[in-house]
Structure 1
């Protein structure tokens, strides 16, 4: 990755992201560049017996063995006529590298989260959920929920409420938590996990902007310190992402004392430095 690219990625709290646009069939889709490690031409795949229907097999990339997921199958679209022209998007989610087969990769757009619209409930409930819709140069680009694709293939990659249950009955705590998360599926999983862990006073917000408006409207309210003890936020959200939300909180004199936890599949070295840049503490 060149120096100028690195500088863009390391900017903190700008509420912007870079989207790599790719094609499957005649449709345009997008993926956050922060999830992408590299893009390569399609390679010879070694099939895996009895694997999930969306898994083509594995490839060896330098010293790593990487699973290949066919997005054509995931999306229910027609395969390209010449697969040798396909591309592999090597992505890293929850510290798991996956190669997604696509037909072509076209360009990168730098956009604001404000420009990304949240899909309606119908679009969110289809098998391959969308995290956002973006219009660029008269084209509608669908931002796919890659985390959901991985969890559908391998449910073990999701949050496990059962693992929390193994710890035994937890004492109920009076701590009050605000959570910003745009995915309805993850809101439920986070809520179930926190309640199983003993935290049952949780308020959810569908994006960073709605949580910020709540906090800002109450920043002078002396009762806020009793009504809120912890903030948990996703990074990728329409309107306002988790980094920009955290930056605003930490720059506000009345709100900066509230602890913030970022919960995301995008846990990389780059995100570590971005978190430090907006005032998050890391261990």
Structure 2
């Protein structure tokens, strides 16, 4: 198990990143997603599986899929496979293993120090969510949720998951959403619209969403005319969802607005982090049906 103090802290706008190498490039994953890092053990190939699936591995009684990061990134395979590492992860209510070539170190950084990728090298298939500058090198933060969804789309947010949601008129609900992933903003927008929500404002991070809310107050706009409820991811460059929630709940003019954390990091072990910053509800991605039920409960009672 990766031991780290960040698991106990809330609302600091910081994270710890496990730095790893594939080929000659440096990448990072949020330590909160990492359960364990192990040395190479036998991997069983699975016929007709996705090209990025190396096979399956049994770890502590669980059979988990192994994702080959060199295949995902289009990089050459390791020159020294006996020195490779396997990162066991848990997010989106599922576990999987990522095969990398080297694990280097853990960095503690602020979300405000993470650069957002520019449109110049971004595309719909881009896996980079942020860029960390460390010791004359760049560490690229990867969108691990997208990697898993690309391999198995059923694990993501989709319209099928709202079929069991009770029909209700939601056209007057006013929702503010903070989500850094372009893919997930589009999926959330499409799926919530299918459930009848029509008034949604989307922002790429907590800071942009908070600026929108605070500017509205400064301009003496009735905040209740703009927003009934806030949905926020947790992992976002510039300002993460926990710090954003804390800022909302500490502002007497905003504190009454319900805030829902909608994140791949909602687990029993981490739920205390949202509770500590005053979140009204926490829903794990990709449970979009549960999210809609929570929205109904918090807005209509």
TM-score (norm 2): 0.89
For the residue of structure 1 that corresponds to 2:269, the secondary structure is helix
Query: What's the offset of the Cα at 1:61?
Result: 0.4
Q: Is the 8 A contact 1:75 1:128 kept in 2?
A: no
For the residue of structure 2 that corresponds to 1:270, the secondary structure is coil
Q: Which residue of 2 aligns with 1:72?
A: 70
Does 1:226 pair with 2:225?
yes
CA distance in 2, matches of 1:270, 1:13: 16
Of residues 122-131 and 221-230 in structure 1, the stretch that sits farther from structure 2 once superposed is 122-131
Q: Which residue of 2 aligns with 1:182?
A: 180
Q: Which residue of 2 aligns with 1:162?
A: 160
Query: What's the offset of the Cα at 1:161?
Result: 1.3
Q: CA RMSD in A?
A: 1.8
CA distance in 1, matches of 2:76, 2:186: 33
Correspondent of 1:198 among 179, 185, 196: 196
Q: Is the 8 A contact 1:170 1:196 kept in 2?
A: no
Does 1:271 pair with 2:270?
yes
| CA spacing shift, 1:129–1:8, aligned 2, 3 Å | closer
Gap runs ≥5 in structure 2? 283-301
TM-score (norm 1): 0.94
Matched length: 281
**Deviant stretches of 4+, over 4 Å:** 165-170
Q: Is the 8 A contact 2:258 2:280 kept in 1?
A: no
Query: What's the offset of the Cα at 1:176?
Result: 0.4
Q: Is the 8 A contact 2:57 2:66 kept in 1?
A: yes
The equivalences for 1:1-283 within 5 A come to: 5-125=3-123, 127-164=125-162, 171-219=169-217, 221-282=220-281
CA distance in 2, matches of 1:94, 1:168: 24
| CA spacing shift, 1:19–1:49, aligned 2, 3 Å | same
Q: Is the 8 A contact 1:35 1:93 kept in 2?
A: yes
